[in-house]
Chains A and B, each alone.
Chain A
């Protein structure tokens, strides 16, 4: 597995997409830091970008990478290597290289602006964590989609729909149901509904860092317990990891049954 990881990683870090991704974040971070001249505000703007873009890039590149490396996978499959090792290796190669270019793209400008000693370091780490987790989650979902769909166009379409669903539609339905069932206690519903959307989970990480003052204004007891204590972070983190683990498990499981 490590060997596959190594090769797909070294293959990817030489692809222009990785550089494009890296430069995108580099340029965005530099210009945001330049415009706002304030670490906190730059981080805030980046959070909004990362939360939408990481899943999009994760799904699109996951699908693209899978379809592009289909023949290569066949070559690998004919080698004395375990199937799960091949897919896990490729998955890690993709996610690690993307997370790295994301982390470096954001990290370098912030390092030069003295993030290390500042009090914003916590927010910045949450930003990196969010981006990385979302990349891992949505790449895994993308692998699952493309393993299940031989048809490229169908795979891409599905990937975009899934991204759109989690990024926008889900929250719309969520808000709608909150408004419709306004008269019922909705605390637990709201929390559980957030757990079922990885993008919402990252937003919770972000809120716990940035908006704790507002969140503590909320009266619900369940909410308060969840958001006011470390429980929020712990539950959100565990749920996010499950969001990585389950799709990964899914595509590994399915890869064993698939014909190439």
Chain B
């Protein structure tokens, strides 16, 4: 028996002394391999009597199990150590930058239009469009601006060669021709907004020859100026995210509306800084009015039955006011530093569920 005890302590010390996995494997082979010492003793049992063999077998099996368990335990420890060494060796400098990826951005004009559309969509408006090269009828005549009308001269119009029928072709000076197209194509009630590019021959610090407007047109049987005010009030408060933002109407003149009003929103200019809100001062954001009976007539609508309102606003101006962009001309320079700074992340699609303030 003492020889087995000696063997056991010998083998266990071999196992515990194995400093790495190959050494442990060597110990296993020495103990349990084909020519291992326990395996050898098992073979020697053939010479024993059945009773002796039984007893000897139990002893050897117990020894074998104990050694095998010790090997497994040791293997676990060594594997853990080996993994720790590998992980230590695999260490990298995580302060290094990730692989370069370009960050795209949405232009403030697109974002602003999308915000405006989100608000008016909730009020039941749909988006209408029209071409940017227009005939004089849609751009002027139908809007109650006959040739020689002083308002026509005030528009600083870009002209293209005349159409084959001799009428002028122009770059639309406002989005209002979309009103005409809509009324000519659809039966009332009508509720549309029309954002888009517009053009006037003017280029200085506050004017660019191309800019964007959004037009709204609502036609029904009982649409009145109070609805115009209500719509603009709701819009302005939602767009700027100011719950008590006041809206003021100032009588004005546009050939295509009667009565006509300019739209002011409340602001403060104290200390040379513009701040929107209910502060007593006023800032103009657009023109509006009740659609002129002649415009309705020009579009084949009976003005004794149909009436409604229209308004227009400059998109860039709205974007500048909301997002604090100082210079109109920079909108069109495609300077990538500007686009990255003032642009919006692409998945930030404006909708009322998420809110419109960025």
To the question of whether A and B form a pair in one complex, the answer is no
